[in-house]
Amino acid sequence: MAASSLSSAFPVAAATAAAGVRRVHRTSTPTSSSAPSRVRASFGGLSLDTGAGGGLSLDGRRRLGASRAVVDAAAESLAVDAPSSSTAGVDWEALDATIVNQTTLAILDKALEMFGDELAIAFSGAEDVALIQYAALTGRPFRVFSLDTGRLNPETYQLFDDVQKHFGINIEFTFPDEKAVVDLVNAKGMFSFFEDGHKECCGVRKVQPLRRKLKTLKAWVTGQRKDQSPGTRMAVPAVQVDPAFEGVEGGPGSLIKFNPLTNATSQEVWDFLRVMGTPVNALHANGYVSIGCAPCTRAVLPGQQEREGRWWWEDAAMKECGLHSGNMTADERAKQDAREATDEDIFVDGSVTALTRTGIEALNDEVVHPHTTLAVLYAPWCPFCQAMVGGFEEAAARLTARGVHVVKFRADADEKAWSQETLALASFPTLLLFPEGRRGFVKLGSERRDADSLDIFVNSIVGAAAAPVV
């Protein structure tokens, strides 16, 4: 990934990284807009200071036999551009189109160039530590913040300490509101999320503190990747106007969000961390991939999608696209109603047969199914249904050739309540298999909705008769 292209894309950063970059601090000179910034830094055994006039001085002694080349590389690395004075008028969609296919290092460097210390990197204590490593390689000063929910694993707290020492930084920790936590726990107990879902607890311990922290910033950096959402290929922009949170200036559009790892795979991130010798969470060695609070995180098995280790007691897709309309605000309800009013449809290539309520009801009521049927309960506005279109249509073509009927039923709007009661709908999309020679249905229990996984699902229930034709 970026490790292989580091020298060509950022030769100075590569040189300083090789010298063992520890910390860089920039202090602005307030007396004149044309005066250069003052930068102090240490690289390997060298302590460097540009001085108030911008000239480089050496205020320490060489150690470990540091060569003049290292001194020159360190000096050159200090000549980073000051952050842009204003981002007003930036076309963020156009900027995303420009940088989305650049390296992680280049995207993060651009973010730091534009916002300086008005931007901070969100660090969860998992593999997003790669963002901190990349930030160090840019040679620019950077800020890092973490949310301490009060229920993290001991290994995560240890990683926080290791990261601070390794990079010579101070992580800015944010904590939940004490009264909100006390009220929740006293009213519903320590483990209410096992009974009524994780969103309320996450709202108190994560979302509210995050919202409060972001209100002090103009931009932030996350570790989101396109390959993290199970069964989907949803777009994760390299940069975007944050659709959910507000920044220091307040109001919609006041916060910018950078996702430098958008195009990276988990394998590429881990290759980079290993090559760089970056501290990582000890839980990763025990099968943990996605790491959150201790009660809500567990190891995953080989071949499982990484997010399957989170909130595993809930229906898998509820992590992505839940249907708990009772928790919606009036504004959210209005937006939802508008989405459900759409006449646009999906799964329209001809490989999937549409059923009405009468059709799906008759299928469900069959005493013995005369043939095997795979059904998807969907909503055309749901992004997770949209993301599985290609895989489901491919599976439909394969299965139809083997005599399996593949159907769809739009289960939103007026059909939602009936589908929840009769067809075990909890979230979109829901996949049901009605096996030949049996009554009722089997519900797909994972988030894996690609063609191969659906083949496995069908094969495991109806046996060799549904084996793929070679």
Buried b (16+ CB within 10 A) or exposed e, 272-294: bbeebebbbbebbeeebbbbbbe
SS3 content of the chain, % helix, strand, coil (to 5): 45, 15, 45
- Could you confirm whether 382 is annotated as catalytic? yes
The DSSP result for 106-168, as a single string, is: HHHHHHHHHHGGGEEEE--SSTTHHHHHHHHHHTS---EEEE--S-B-HHHHHHHHHHHHHHT
**CA–CA distances in Å: residue 31 to residues 25, 35, 37, 51, 208:** 19, 7, 11, 15, 39
Q: One of 201, 202, 296, 382 is an active-site residue; which one?
A: 382
* 20 CB burial (10 A radius; 0-12, 13-18, 19+): middle
User: Would strands 239-241 and 256-258 be described as parallel, antiparallel, or unpaired?
Assistant: antiparallel
Rounded-to-integer distance, Cα 386 and Cα 418, Å: 22
Distance of alpha carbon 198 from alpha carbon 63, whole angstroms:
52
Q: Mark whether 293 is an active-site residue.
A: no
Query: How far apart are alpha carbons 466 and 448 in whole angstroms?
Result: 19
Q: Which of the 8 DSSP states describes residue 204?
A: I
CA angle, residues 9, 95, 258, in degrees to nearest 5: 75
Catalytic residues: 382, 385
